[in-house]
Amino acid sequence: MKITKFILPLIFGLMGGLIAFFVAGEWKADSRASFAKHELIGPGMPRPVVHQVLDEGESGGAGSVDLRMAAKKTVPAVVNVKTVQMGKEYYGSPLDFWFGIQPQVREVPRNMGIGSGVIITEDGYIITNNHVIDGSDHLIVTLNDKREFEAKVIGSDPNTDIALIKIDAEGLQPIEYGNSDDVVLGEWVLAVGNPYNLTSTVTAGIISAKARELGGKMNLGSFLQTDAAVNQGNSGGALVNSRGQLIGINTAIQSPTGSYSGYSFAVPVNIARKVVGDLKEYGKVQRAVIGIRMGELTPSVAKELDVDAQYGIYVGEVIKGGAAAKAGLKEGDVIQQLNGYEVKTVPEFQEQLAKYAPGDAIQFVVNRAGKKKVVDLVLQSSFGDIAISESDGVLGAKVETLTQQERYRYRLSKGVKIKELRDGKFKSAGLTEGYIILKINDTVVHHPEDLERAIKAVGDGGIFVTAVNPRGRVEYFAFSLQD
């Protein structure tokens, strides 16, 4: 009896231990299996990892999107852009000065930079950023297959920070254009470029915001914002969607340190595509204006102005003689659509307007005193005409901004250099290629657009030109615009 009382608890204890052992083993195995399905992407932040090839056209949600095909299509179309700024170096014996011997001078590389570019045609046209190539004397483009080419600048636009360059090559693999208007918040994107000279680097993220206004030196007020990692060297590279279509040109980051810290910004491809098209065809960007002073309408502003609308672009003033005045747009109108695209903010409105050129016909839907009205409008240039400005230049002169080296050489902070000169008023007055135009009458010239504006303002009157010749001496020229 005593033995039974001792043995039975022992047996039950052993059975309980065995059961507990097997249950614990099964729980531990389940835990291991569960943990193996996750990848740590941050402290205490596991996420399921699923490798699934999607059907064509499917973008998928978080954890299911496959970006491998997009990367495969994009990487061959993204190039490395090296920039070189040249400087002068004096050499010779220190005794040359005492013997009246002129010191020898040679050009040597002073500064080198890196950036990225995107191939857009099979014959070598490439988009990049203006700030990548600005002030450079030589551009070296390295393709994904390691071939190197010297590139030339076709044109650039500081306002949008877009530039077009060209290499002498054939049979390249251009990128496929997408539509930045179709981009939606939360959409997966890839940033492809050469950060810190690490070629063909691919990073992923989502679209964090659209029509983002950065302020500061950025004249363009409508960027795509993404959390795909972008660093120095990514500038001019591609932002593509999950189908490998170009939707933006990576341009800027927001960072207190100069390195990526969360957000980056890209010029929408619809703007970049229009800019490079203008640079290729006309040599300059054709900017259209409508001739209004505007502001963003919010519910509080609508209440203050007693406007019967909740969103849109409020027309505060209609400029006399402008496109809006000719189309019948009125002060107090609220623009709510531009060619079928809903506009709620000024950056959205400017992004849509930037896609058009002088002479293009567009259609507004406006709210006027609580009623919807359709307004048809023909866009004008900043000079009030609707004609495309050709690349032949002004009065026979095609000019360009000064390089950093030229500014240093001539000690100038202003002026445009005559790049090409055909028969016209400037040539008849005695100017030649290489002259730097500083002023037209009393108007200081900083950019080619300033020269056009100054000539336009004179009308049929007389022109007094202040210029610097290639030897650095100031000269003056005068002529009349009347035949």
Three state DSSP letters for the chain: CHHHHHHHHHHHHHHHHHHHHHHHHHHHHHHHHHHCCEEECCCCCEEECCCCCCCCCCCCCCCCCCCHHHHHHHHHHEEEEEEEEEEEEEECCHHHCCCCCCCEEEEEEEEEEEEEEEECCCCCEEEEEHHHHCCCCEEEEECCCCCEEEEEEEEEECCCCEEEEEECCCCCCCCEECCHHHCCCCCEEEEEECHHHCCCEEEEEEEEEEEECCCCCCCCCCEEEECCCCCCCCCCCEEEECCCEEEEEEEEEECCCCCCCCEEEEEEHHHHHHHHHHHHHHCCCCCCECCEEEEEECHHHHHHHCCCCCCEEEEEEECCCCHHHHHCCCCCCEEEEECCEECCCHHHHHHHHCCCCCCCEEEEEEEECCEEEEEEEECECCCCCCCCCCCCCECCEEEEECCHHHHHHHCCCCCEEEEEECCCHHHHHCCCCCCEEEEECCEECCCHHHHHHHHHHHCCCEEEEEEECCCCCEEEEEEECCC
CB atoms within 10 A of CB 416: 24
Q: Which of 161, 167, 160 is CA-nearest to residue 138? A: 167
The torsion of the CA quartet 402, 405, 408, 411, rounded to 10 degrees, works out to: -30
Q: Give the whole-angstrom CA distance, residue 416 versus residue 471.
A: 15
Of the candidates 136, 180, 208, 235, the residue annotated as catalytic is 235
Residue 131 a catalytic site member: yes
Measured CA to CA, the distance from residue 32 to residue 38 in angstroms comes to 11
Distance CA 136, CA 157 (A): 15
Please pick, among 157, 161, 278, 333, the residue that the annotation labels catalytic: 161
Candidate list 131, 208, 242, 389, residue with the active-site label: 131
By C-alpha distance, which of 200, 117, 195, 123 is closest to 163?
117
Q: Could you give phi then psi for residue 50, rounded to 5 degrees? A: -125, 120
**Active site positions, annotated:** 131, 161, 235
